[in-house]
Amino acid sequence: MILNDILGLALVYVYVAILLFIADKFQDLNVSRKFVHIMVGNILFILPVFKSWWVMTFLAAAPFIPLTFLISPYSPIKMEHKVSSYGHGLGLVYYSISWTLLALLFFDRPWIIGIGIAAMSYGDGLASLIGEKYGRRKYNVLGDVKSVEGSLAMFITLLITLPLILLYYVQPIEWPIIFAIAATATMIEGVTPKGLDNITACMGSVAVYLLI
């Protein structure tokens, strides 16, 4: 482990701690949960600090799998936190699993990790938030009620954020690919139930990028 890795770890854990502290101040449980869900996506801008794949994977990402489980409603020691007491109880656990897999597989191509994180943080987070507040046109494919307004919000959000992520990582912006990723992630999120879209939309976005 080198100095950059230590700095990366410090940035990740301090940032998440700050988010949880702020989220605990919200009275609305849904706002608290979605605040963390969306804002934790900014971790993608910390990724270039890391120099060792195993540090990012096993010390920065993987520890959040048990940590998020311990604050979920399914925890055996009842450390439930506001951010996991509303909505799908294992949503943040799935989120952590996705980030860990991305770090393990694509450490040398962090923009791919960024694409996956964007889909499950900015895209999925805003889809849920906008859908619950403004969603009027509901649909239910596999057991979860979603809304056209929420899906549209996710699609537009990804059209905006994906080019910014590629610019940050000095990668070419190809609009047909961005459109395909945004459309695919939106459709996957729309049909995936029980918080599993934190895995399916994330991995689906990455798969589209790699295939195209």
pLDDT score at 96: 93
Within 10 angstroms of residue 206's Cβ, the number of other Cβ atoms is: 24
Averaged confidence pLDDT in the chain: 89
Residue (of 112, 66, 116, 118) closest to 92 by Cα position? 66
The string of pLDDT tens digits covering residues 3-49 is: 999 999 999 999 999 998 898 888 777 788 888 889 999 999 999 99
By residue range, what is the domain housing residue 181? 3-211
Domain count, the chain: 1
Residue (of 97, 8, 158) closest to 105 by Cα position? 97
Q: How many CA atoms lie within 13 A of 149 on its CB side?
A: 11
| pTM: predicted TM-score of the whole model, two decimal places | 0.91
Range 181-203 average pLDDT: 91
The string of pLDDT tens digits covering residues 110-146 is: 999 999 999 999 999 899 889 888 888 999 887 788 9
pLDDT score at 81: 54
Range 51-72 average pLDDT: 92
Structure letter (DSSP) for residue 51: -
42 or 212, which is more confident? 42
Residues 138, 145: contact at Cβ < 8 Å? Answer: yes
Residue 78 has pLDDT above 80, yes or no: no
pLDDT score at 27: 78
pLDDT score at 63: 95
**Token duo for residue 85:** 């007491």
Residues 34, 25: contact at Cβ < 8 Å? Answer: no
- The H helix count followed by the E strand count for the chain is 10, 2
Look at the block and give the residue holding tokens 């990740």.
12
Over its C-alpha atoms, the chain yields an Rg (Å, rounded) of: 16
Q: How confident is the model at residue 201 (pLDDT cuts 50, 70, 90)?
A: very high
Look at the block and give the residue holding tokens 């689906």.
204
